[in-house]
Each structure stands twice: as structure tokens, then as C-alpha cells.
Structure 1
Amino acid sequence: MTEALAPAVTQPAAGSAVPPGDGADPIIINPAPHQMSELAFFLGEYRGLTSDVPDEGPLKVITKTASILDGNWYQMQMVMPTNTETGTVVGWWNFGWDSVALQYVAQWYDNLGSYGTATSPGWVDGHLRFTGEYTRVIIAGGTSGVSEGQVIKSIDDFSFVAPGHLRDDITYLVDGKWEPCGVIDLHKVEAAG
């Protein structure tokens, strides 16, 4: 018995949410909400440093952000090489607009196994604050599947020092008080051409 060959699969246009197919079953695409323009500063590449990390000093940080799913989400890859056996930490932020709760939402996950979700009302007095809860992996368990870490409440407070100079002040809720945890200082990399 001869098996039928699967139809050839074509790739959708870059940034499109339309899956490949013959078009017989059109998918209604949801245009990006206008609120996403408030997050457009994330798009492109930034490079910078963290504040001092215990036993390591400042770490380099590179972010690259692209619009995905017809502009409904911005996906940021954040890369931080460390000076420990942890190696390079790679994380992803997905930023979007929650059109039901009418707030911004950010979801984080990384190669250590950390993850979490935060929300923001938007820009207030020059600050874009995302407040959320995260499972923060401190020492990854690898194949054992057992890591060391903690559940934390955190705020990422984004603000501009100057055009193209972005700062993220990070605080954790410790014993009922918000305490500074570190800063990521980033400069926009202008596209060539």
C-alpha cells in the first residue's frame, strides 16, 4: 500500500500569524491594538550593562526585540553572559496588550527555568512599571529537574535617561518592603544603513 504524500508546506510571510495552507479556510487576523505603539521603543537592539552582581561585577546585556503575531506581541531576547558555571543566561520577554483587563502584560522565561508574568497600566510620569510574580531559578538543576530558587514579587521600572538610553530599575518585595535589586542600563544600537 502506498501512503499519500503530505502537501508541500510553505512558510508564511515574516511576522504573519497565518499558518501555511491552501487558503480554503481563511483565518481572521486581529490587527495590533494601537496601545502597542507605546511599547515600540523596545523594538530593535540595545546593549549595555547590569549593576554589580555579587561575585561577578557588572554583566553585559544584549536585547533584540521584534514584532510578532501581526504586531500583537513584541518578543525580546535578552542575553547575559556570566562569569560563572551558569554560562550565558538567555531569556525571552513577550510584551503585549491585554485587551480584556486593559493593561500591558509581560511574560518572562529563560534557559535556567525561571518564568513569570507581570502587568503594567502603561506610562505614568515617565515610567513604565511591570509588577509581577516570578519563579526565579538561582541554581539550575539540569537533567535532575530539581533547581534551587524562590518565588518573588518584582517590579521592572523602565524609564529613559536620554533618547536611546533605557534603564530598568528592578526591585523585589522582601519581608513586605520593596528593595532595590539591580539596574540594567541599555543603549539603543542604531540600525546600519
Structure 2
Amino acid sequence: MSLVALAVSPVNAEPDTGAKPPHGKNPLPAPPQIRDLDFLLGSYTCDYTPPPGGKPAVLKLTTKRAMGGHYLYTDATLEPGSVVGRTSLGWNPVDGKFINQYHDNWGSSGNYTSSGWKDGHLIFKGPLTQVITPNGSGQTTGVKLDLVDDYQVLGPGHFKDTTSFTFPDGSTLQGSYDCRRQ
């Protein structure tokens, strides 16, 4: 599972709740590119359509600004399964790409990048280490996957994320999240 794991004006955008610079300092303004992710701001309910043989699920997510608007973070819960995850999204000004860092309470983690919007799609790609069976001992089994998250804004407060997982043997599974602002 990867969370939102995007060029629409924000609707009901929530205020920045992140860390503040020391008093009296003139903070560096957030990069303008971060506005391309504003469609994620707010609270969403996402219906997950799994690959064949999988089980439908519901993802609840809330995205807010952080660090003076330089980043967004998303907290999400996937049921069934009680998976709780966090995604941090930002702009890498050196490489000219969006960055997405993901981790969850099962121990899964991933790092993805995107060059930005193209033909109505914002595509993040990168490695995901997916825990298969969570275990409180700190040791368990998992699989290293290549992940692709393909975001499309379908309307105000409505987006879709088509997610593809490619396994080490080259096989690929695909599911999708249909997300609507609450």
C-alpha cells in the first residue's frame, strides 16, 4: 500500500500546522511547484479497487501543509487491515522533481519521485519495501517492489490514483483508489 500517495486550486485548504522558523527570521518562501499538489489538501475517503483476487478496502486520508508550506504530509488509514501510514511530499529544487516518502505501522517504506504533471497525469515512481506479515519482533518477511502511482484529478475534490506494483519476477499487479473530499 502506498499513500498518495498533483494543478488544481485548493478547496477548503487547511492552514499550515508545521514547524515555524525562529522569531524574527525571514523564512524562505515555499517553492511555487508545491502548489501542483494542492488538490491533495483536505480529508478524503478513497474506495480501493484491488487487482484480481484482492479484497476491496477503504482508505481515509488527510493532507496538510508543513514546514511553512514547503511540504505536504498525509496521514492515512486503510481498512480492513488497520494499516496506518504517513506520506511526506515536497519539491526537490536540485533535481527539479517532486519527492514522496512513505512509511507505515507495518514497517513498509518507500521513496518515489515525479517530474510533474504531463497530459493530466502526475506519476510517481520508485522502490517500495512492502511488509507481507507484520510482526512486533522487528523481523518479518516482505518484498521489494517497484511502485508507480498515477494521479489524475477528476474534478473538484475528486481524484484517482492508479497504483501498479512490479515484483522481482517482473509480474505486475494494479489497483486504484477513487478519492472524494469529505
TM tier, smaller: 0.7 to 0.9
CA contact (8 A) 1:156 1:168 kept: yes
Which residue of 2 is the match for residue 104 of structure 1? 98
Deviates more, 1:172-181 or 1:58-67: 172-181
Which residue of 1 is the match for residue 148 of structure 2? 155
Over 3 Å counting, the alpha-carbon distance change for 1:18 and 1:80 in structure 2 is same
Over 3 Å counting, the alpha-carbon distance change for 1:110 and 1:160 in structure 2 is same
Which residue of 1 is the match for residue 132 of structure 2? 138
Deviation string 1:92-144 (CA, Å, 9 cap, x unpaired) is: 111100011010000000000001100000001100000010111111121x1
Which residue of 2 is the match for residue 116 of structure 1? 110
Q: Structure 2, unaligned stretches of length 5 or more?
A: 1-15
**Structure 2 counterparts to residues 38-117 of structure 1, below 5 A:** 38-52=36-50, 57-82=55-80, 87-117=81-111
Please report how far the alpha carbon of residue 56 of structure 1 lies from its aligned counterpart in structure 2 after TM superposition.
Answer: 6.5
Cα distance in 2, alignment partners of residues 180 and 91 from structure 1: 21
Which residue of 2 is the match for residue 17 of structure 1? 20
Deviates more, 1:46-55 or 1:95-104: 46-55
Please report how far the alpha carbon of residue 179 of structure 1 lies from its aligned counterpart in structure 2 after TM superposition.
Answer: 2.6
Please report how far the alpha carbon of residue 57 of structure 1 lies from its aligned counterpart in structure 2 after TM superposition.
Answer: 2.7
Say which structure, 1 or 2, has more relative contact order (CA 8 Å, 6+ apart).
2
Deviation string 1:59-98 (CA, Å, 9 cap, x unpaired) is: 111110000000000000111121xxxx410101111000
Which residue of 2 is the match for residue 33 of structure 1? 31
Over 3 Å counting, the alpha-carbon distance change for 1:188 and 1:40 in structure 2 is same
Cα distance in 2, alignment partners of residues 68 and 52 from structure 1: 31
Structure 1 runs of 4+ with >6 Å offset: 53-56
Q: CA RMSD in A?
A: 2.2
Q: Structure 1, unaligned stretches of length 5 or more?
A: 1-12
Please report how far the alpha carbon of residue 163 of structure 1 lies from its aligned counterpart in structure 2 after TM superposition.
Answer: 3.1
Deviates more, 1:123-132 or 1:152-161: 152-161
Q: SS where residue 56 of structure 2 aligns?
A: coil
Please report how far the alpha carbon of residue 54 of structure 1 lies from its aligned counterpart in structure 2 after TM superposition.
Answer: 7.4
How many residue pairs are counted as aligned between the two chains?
Answer: 167
Which residue of 2 is the match for residue 164 of structure 1? 157
Please report how far the alpha carbon of residue 188 of structure 1 lies from its aligned counterpart in structure 2 after TM superposition.
Answer: 1.4
Please report how far the alpha carbon of residue 178 of structure 1 lies from its aligned counterpart in structure 2 after TM superposition.
Answer: 6.9
Cα distance in 2, alignment partners of residues 103 and 34 from structure 1: 13
